[in-house]
């Protein structure tokens, strides 16, 4: 659908009245169900490139453009979007921005919010709003760009996105190996790293901890980064393949597995200060021995993917109780599968009313509420 068509659809939904559900490829529809979903007005932004200026490292695309399509377009000019998010390569760029989904082994540890320069958004009143711009140093309307990034389409339907690109390095490989001992043994070494080396540690049941590191640059730089990785005590290191969005999913199963999100799994993101990473991992592992953990040492966060058989709300409560008894400072976000446990409507409601006064946009879809830091 064109931006004007989506604006008209929202205006009709207000008059009906009914709710509006924004979708792309349908890969990020987790969270609370939309009210009256059977009768909801479904809007689907179109895909395709609007404008691409390789010399400026900027591309403008319709929100329905998939990550695969974006990667293929940029690769022709030796460029890339610096992240390859969790989920499917068939996900649309609109969904990636709307969910602000994390990305393992992101180039220079960037997040999607660091790469969005501008947006076209249709608000809950049907108004078409263009915020941000097409240059890196532009700041006009940038606060609204950040506000809509991660809002799950509850403040407006994203229809166009301006993105900052990066040149593809001459070498871009993911190297992996195993770590011996407990988190107390290797977390301090990893968080002391100051090299430009994106890392991720996978801890699966009954398996040794596995470290993944993205080594990029020319041959000498990539070799030096690999040497830094091996200095952490990594055993049996080997290269598993490229890390770009498309080929990694299609050709390198080990990397694709890092990004795969089971449809009905409970996915939590727990974050603490960098120095508390070892304690955080130990507590989560004791509480959830069957879960797979993905630990990012540069951000002090762990992504928890566990069996859908758990009672989700009970499990979240147990985690909060466990951390409440420790001196670890933490935040907990349910990315998939669990409703919010804390009422933050006093913060969200005024913003929601300003952009969607009729309450028609993705109502009840966003259920991911951060928990404040506690002791």
Tokens standing for 207?
């398996």
pLDDT band at 242 (very low <50, low <70, confident <90, very high): low
Higher pLDDT, 164 or 195: 164
Residue range 165-185, pLDDT digits in tens: 999 988 888 889 999 888 888
- Whole-number Cα distances in Å, 227 to 185, 215, 219, 310: 19, 10, 12, 41
Q: What is the pLDDT of residue 4?
A: 96
Percentage of the chain exceeding pLDDT 70: 76
**CA–CA dist 176, 199 (Å, integer):** 10
Three-state secondary-structure class, residue 105? coil
For residue 35, CA distances in Å to 9, 27, 31, 205, 364 come to: 17, 19, 12, 38, 7
CA distance 271 to 368: 15
Q: Which residue has the higher pLDDT, 157 or 333?
A: 157
Question: Do 306 and 265 form a contact (C-beta atoms < 8 A)?
Answer: yes
Q: Which residues pair with 241 in a beta bridge?
A: 174
Top CATH class, 169-243: alpha beta
CB atoms within 10 A of CB 311: 11
Q: What is the pLDDT of residue 24?
A: 81
Partners of 22 in the β-ladder: 43
- CA dist 30 → 34, 43, 212, 360 (Å): 10, 17, 27, 18
Identify whether the C-beta of residue 231 lies closer than 8 Å to the C-beta of residue 223: no
323 compared with 372, residue with greater pLDDT: 323
Task: Please check the confidence at residue 102 and state whether its pLDDT lies above 80.
Answer: no
Q: Which CATH class is domain 3-168+349-355?
A: alpha beta
With a cut of 60, say whether residue 250 has pLDDT above it. Answer: no
Reported as a single tens digit per residue, the pLDDT across 110-166 is 889 889 999 999 999 999 999 988 877 666 666 889 999 988 888 999 999 999 999
List, in order, residues 6 or more apart from 117 with CB less than 8 Å away. 58, 132, 133, 134, 135, 136, 138, 145, 162, 163, 164
pLDDT, the chain, mean: 80
What pLDDT, on a 0 to 100 scale, did the predictor assign at position 12?
93
Give residue 371's pLDDT. 36
Per-residue pLDDT reduced to its tens digit, 23-45: 887 666 655 555 655 567 889 99
Q: Are the folds of 169-243 and 265-336 the same?
A: yes
Cα distances from 286 to residues 87, 141, 323, 330, 348, in angstroms, run: 27, 45, 12, 17, 34
* Contact of 336 with 266, CB cutoff 8 Å: yes
Residues 65/90, Cβ–Cβ less than 8 Å: no
Q: What's residue 335's pLDDT?
A: 62
Is the preceding omega at residue 17 within 30 degrees of 0, hence cis?
yes
CA gap 320, 129 in Å, rounded: 39
- CA 372 to CA 364: how far, in whole Å? 21
Q: What is the pLDDT of residue 149?
A: 92
Asked whether 165 and 74 are in contact (CB, 8 A), the reply is: yes
CB count within 10 Å of CB 238 equals 7
Distance CA 178, CA 223 (A): 19
Q: pLDDT exceeding 90 applies to what percent of the chain?
A: 28
* Total residues found in the chain within this entry: 375
pLDDT over threshold 50, residue 366: no
Phi/psi for 50 (5° steps) reads -90, -50
Q: Where are the domains of the chain?
A: 3-168+349-355, 169-243, 265-336
Q: How many angstroms separate the Cα of 263 from the Cα of each of 28, 34, 229, 306?
A: 10, 18, 33, 11
How many helices (H) and strands (E) are present in the chain, helices listed first? 11, 17
pLDDT band at 249 (very low <50, low <70, confident <90, very high): very low
Residue 318 CB partners (closer than 8 Å, separation 6+): 287
More confident residue, 68 or 334: 68
Q: Which CATH number fits domain 265-336: 1.20.1260.10, 3.20.20.150, 3.40.50.720, 3.30.70.920?
A: 3.30.70.920
For residue range 335-356, list pLDDT tens digits in order: 665 555 555 667 778 888 899 9
Q: Indicate the pTM of the whole model.
A: 0.81
**What are the beta bridge partners of residue 9?**
none
């Amino acid at each position: 659908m064109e931006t004007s068509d989506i604006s008209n659809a929202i205006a009709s939904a207000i008059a009906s009245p009914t709710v509006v559900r924004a979708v792309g490829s349908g890969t990020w529809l987790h969270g609370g169900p939309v009210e009256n979903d059977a009768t909801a007005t479904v809007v689907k932004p179109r895909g395709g490139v609007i404008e691409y200026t390789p010399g400026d490292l900027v591309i403008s695309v319709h929100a329905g453009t998939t990550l695969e399509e974006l990667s293929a377009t940029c690769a022709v000019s030796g460029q890339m979007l610096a992240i390859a998010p969790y989920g499917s390569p068939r996900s649309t760029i609109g969904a990636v921005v709307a969910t602000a989904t994390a990305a393992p082994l992101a180039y220079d540890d960037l997040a999607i919010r660091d790469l969005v320069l501008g947006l076209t958004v249709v608000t809950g009143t049907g108004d078409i709003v263009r915020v941000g711009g097409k240059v890196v140093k532009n700041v006009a309307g940038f606060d609204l760009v950040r506000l809509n990034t991660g809002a799950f389409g509850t403040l407006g339907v994203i229809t166009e996105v301006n993105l900052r690109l990066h040149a593809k390095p001459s070498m871009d490989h993911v190297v992996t190996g195993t770590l011996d001992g407990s988190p107390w043994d290797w977390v301090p070494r990893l968080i002391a790293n100051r090299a430009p080396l994106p890392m991720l540690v996978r801890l699966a049941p009954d398996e040794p901890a596995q470290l993944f590191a993205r080594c990029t640059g020319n041959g000498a730089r990539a070799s030096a980064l690999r040497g830094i990785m091996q200095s952490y005590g990594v055993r049996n290191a080997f290269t598993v393949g490229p890390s770009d969005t498309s080929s990694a999913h299609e050709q390198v199963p080990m990397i694709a597995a890092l990004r795969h999100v089971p449809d009905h799994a409970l996915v939590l993101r727990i974050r603490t200060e960098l120095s508390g990473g070892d304690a955080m991992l130990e507590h989560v592992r004791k509480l959830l021995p069957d879960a797979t953990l993905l630990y990012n040492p540069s951000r002090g966060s762990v992504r928890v993917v566990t069996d859908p058989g758990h009672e989700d709300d009970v499990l979240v409560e147990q985690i909060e109780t466990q951390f409440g008894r420790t001196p670890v400072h933490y935040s907990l976000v349910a990315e998939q599968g669990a409703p919010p446990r804390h009422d933050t409507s006093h913060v969200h409601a005024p913003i929601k009313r300003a952009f969607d006064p009729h309450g028609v946009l993705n109502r009840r879809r966003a259920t991911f509420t951060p928990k404040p830091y506690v002791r």
